[in-house]
Amino acid sequence: MAATLFDASARGTGGRAVEIPAGPVTLQGDLDIPEGAAGVVLFAHGTGSSRHSPRNRYVATVLREAGLGTLLMDLLTTEEEAVDLRTRHLRFDVILLTERLQAAVEWLAGHPRTRGLPVGCFGASTGAAAALAAAAARPDLIRAVVSRGGRPDLAGPMLPRVQAPTLLIVGSLDLPVLDMNRDALALLECEKELAVVPGASHLFEEPGTLEEVARLAAMWFVRCLTGGRDAPRA
């Protein structure tokens, strides 16, 4: 049965809270690896969000139904989030967010439950820029990227270095971000695709639009991470 939209209880059976060392800080995450998972997807949330984002949790549930593990994590510590609420600058620090995603990818590569699993990154908003920059920096570890309403333009000169197959998903009503994604698509030299969801705005709040995001993401990750095994319909 497909996940219910925004159902916070729709999680896999093996989920657990984890701590991820990232330089001088420790980040909080939720790791959920279904039995027989063929890959794992690391989530990079967007501006002002966290691992508790209901949109990302819904997408993560659909990915687990497709046989993939998920790691949702906070990119900032509790103290940093408090500062960012006032200054709003850390959420746009793509270099910092990229470094923390790289630390998480390396942690996945060494963790007993995920060691040896191919890794993908799902980024939203500013998190998409960090996901792409991390993919450019660690082509040996990141095998696929999906961006939801992302700001890939913030990855700047890193875009031509991305080797992982990349899917950019944007709402048809999100015109400024759609233009940014078209410009970024032209700079990517990897396997790439731009998927425009009809009738969707930036947050994909319209009926059926987030379900379409999850369906597209599941298909992309399953193909790129598992060698083409078909994903269940979302």
Whether residue 16 is contained in a domain is answered as no
Give the containing element (helix H, strand E) for 41.
strand 40-44
pLDDT (mean) for 42-61: 85
List alpha helices for the chain, DSSP H: 54-65, 78-87, 94-110, 126-137, 175-187, 209-226
Whether residue 4 is contained in a domain is answered as no
Closest CA to 29 of 46, 44, 39, 9: 44
Output DSSP code: residue 5: T
Contact 63, 57 (CB under 8 A): no
- pLDDT grade for 229, boundaries at 50, 70 and 90: very low
Q: What is the CATH number of the domain that holds 49?
A: 3.40.50.1820
Whether residue 12 is contained in a domain is answered as no
* Number of structural domains found in the chain: 1
Task: State whether the Cα torsion 178-179-182-188 is positive or negative.
Answer: negative
Whether residue 186 is contained in a domain is answered as yes
Listed range (11-15, 112-116, 192-196) with the worst mean pLDDT? 11-15
- pLDDT grade for 49, boundaries at 50, 70 and 90: low
- pLDDT grade for 137, boundaries at 50, 70 and 90: very high
Residue 48 is predicted with a pLDDT of 60
From residue 190, how far is each of 9, 125, 157, 162, 193 by CA, in Å?
A: 36, 21, 14, 6, 10
Whether residue 9 is contained in a domain is answered as no
User: Residue 200: which domain range?
Assistant: 22-226
What are the tens digits of pLDDT across the range 156-181? 999 999 999 999 999 999 999 999 99
Amino acid in the structure at residue 128: A
Whether residue 116 is contained in a domain is answered as yes
CB neighbourhood size of 10 (10 A): 18
CB neighbourhood size of 47 (10 A): 13
Residue 79 is predicted with a pLDDT of 84
Whether residue 79 is contained in a domain is answered as yes
Whether residue 10 is contained in a domain is answered as no
Global pTM reads: 0.89
